[in-house]
């Protein structure tokens, strides 16, 4: 729950009886389970807490699945009619307690949900930005007290969830244009210091939340940027989109330090990306239906998996629980994917501690 005191203090393919394995030099992932037809429309976004996975899409319903009780990932709650026109994004805090979730609907409304002691999720507050450009992508701070939202006119708006107010608006356009390029993606660093946004014209901006000013305007991508994500240690920013590559930036000096992708790999749009808990690997989903795992230090793809030829709209690592979901099963890393095929597929590391 939102805490006021805390706020103030602030490509070798094999198969097994369990499904296909993708083998690489250093990583192997097993298809653990698929929830077929999890939604009645495309699934646009996933978000994880320490014990659950949220999924949203073109329907008005939010589904919540347990990720710690069974390898079948049972549905534990459905919130029907959450957004009448459908839902395009859901966000939870990365590395946070997992007591708050935020959804963004096609009607322009933002809804904040909190978890009761019983485990049920209930509506806490709704932001309905009248008279302003509708919000698009959203990101929740690690302490679950702040929400960042990109807008269709390129602005980045930050909300205080404790006070239920707008506290900052970052501009990406000029005074003459009155706005900037469509904000397709946004993220907040885990230390709360930085906000990053990716835009339709290929721009990537980074803002300092302490000073309220833009600190970097980053180059390297000339096509729409559909995903931006800070590393867990807040030292790197990854950005990706229609260029089909992942650009990496150093956050100490704002330097473009490298790209991953291209060079024989598909140049399909990258629609989603996520860092694992250690910051060693990046997970990406793309328009060609493939999910890839990237070794950041080596700068190369170390695993590729494909369950569908339809677009993957969202991919997410699941926080490690330290508990095996089935007898004999390891407690290695797991991730989930979803997209146009309306199903959610869970993968696990084939071996792990």
Q: Which residues neighbour 14 within 8 Å (Cβ) at sequence distance 6 or greater?
A: 20, 21, 23
Tokens read off for 209: 């939340």
pLDDT at site 27: 83
pLDDT at site 5: 43
Asked whether the CA dihedral 121, 122, 127, 130 is positive or negative, the reply is positive
Task: Name the pairing type of β-strands 213-218 and 204-208.
Answer: antiparallel
Spatial CA neighbour of 274 closest among 203, 334, 224, 342: 334
pLDDT digits (tens, 9 = 90+) for 272-296: 999 999 999 999 999 999 999 999 9
pLDDT at site 4: 45
The more confident residue out of 352 and 142 is 142
Measure CA 160 to chain center: 20
Q: What share of the chain is helix, strand, coil (3-state, %, to 5)?
A: 0, 50, 45
pLDDT digits (tens, 9 = 90+) for 131-161: 678 999 999 999 999 999 999 999 999 999 9
SS3 9: helix
What domains are defined for the chain?
39-349 (2.130.10.10)
What is the DSSP secondary-structure string of 105-139? ETTS-EEEEEE-TTS-EEEEEEE--TTSPPEEEEE
pLDDT digits (tens, 9 = 90+) for 76-128: 999 999 999 999 999 999 989 999 999 999 999 999 999 999 999 999 999 98
pLDDT at site 115: 98
Count of CB atoms within 10 A of residue 281's CB? 20
pLDDT at site 11: 36
pLDDT at site 121: 98
Q: Dihedral of the CA atoms 243, 248, 251, 257 (nearest 10)?
A: -120
Q: Provide the β-strand partners of residue 120.
A: none
pLDDT, the chain, mean:
89
């Amino acid at each position: 729950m939102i805490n006021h005191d805390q706020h103030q203090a602030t490509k070798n393919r094999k198969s097994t009886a369990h499904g296909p394995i993708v083998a690489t030099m250093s990583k192997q992932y097993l298809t653990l389970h698929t929830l077929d037809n999890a939604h009645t429309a495309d699934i646009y976004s996933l978000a994880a807490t320490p014990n659950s996975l949220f999924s949203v899409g073109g329907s008005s319903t939010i589904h919540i699945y347990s990720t710690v009780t069974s390898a079948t990932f049972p549905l534990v709650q459905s919130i029907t009619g959450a957004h009448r026109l459908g839902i395009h994004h859901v966000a939870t805090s990365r590395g946070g307690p997992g007591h708050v979730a935020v959804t963004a609907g096609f009607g322009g409304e933002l809804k904040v949900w909190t978890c009761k002691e019983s485990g049920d999720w209930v509506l806490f507050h709704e932001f309905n930005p009248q008279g302003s450009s509708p919000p698009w992508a959203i990101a929740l701070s690690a302490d679950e007290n702040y929400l960042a939202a990109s807008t269709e006119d390129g602005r980045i708006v930050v909300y205080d969830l404790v006070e239920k107010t707008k506290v900052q608006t970052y501009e990406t356009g000029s005074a003459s244009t009155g706005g900037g390029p469509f904000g397709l993606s946004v993220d907040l660093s885990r230390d709360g210091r930085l906000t990053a946004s990716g835009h339709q014209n290929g721009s990537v901006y980074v803002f300092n939340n302490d000073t309220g000013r833009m600190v970097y305007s980053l180059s390297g991508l000339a096509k729409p940027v559909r995903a931006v994500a800070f590393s867990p240690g807040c030292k790197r920013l990854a950005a990706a989109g229609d260029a089909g590559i992942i650009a990496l930036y150093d956050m100490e000096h704002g330097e473009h330090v490298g790209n991953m992708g291209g060079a024989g790999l598909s140049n399909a749009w990258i629609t989603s990306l996520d860092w694992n808990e250690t910051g060693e690997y990046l997970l990406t989903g793309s328009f060609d239906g493939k999910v890839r795992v990237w070794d950041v230090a080596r700068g190369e793809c170390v695993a590729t998996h494909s369950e569908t030829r339809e677009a993957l709209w969202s991919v997410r690592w699941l926080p490690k629980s330290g508990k095996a979901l089935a007898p004999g099963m390891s407690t290695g890393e797991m991730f989930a994917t979803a997209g146009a095929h309306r199903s959610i597929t869970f993968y696990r590391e084939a071996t792990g501690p």
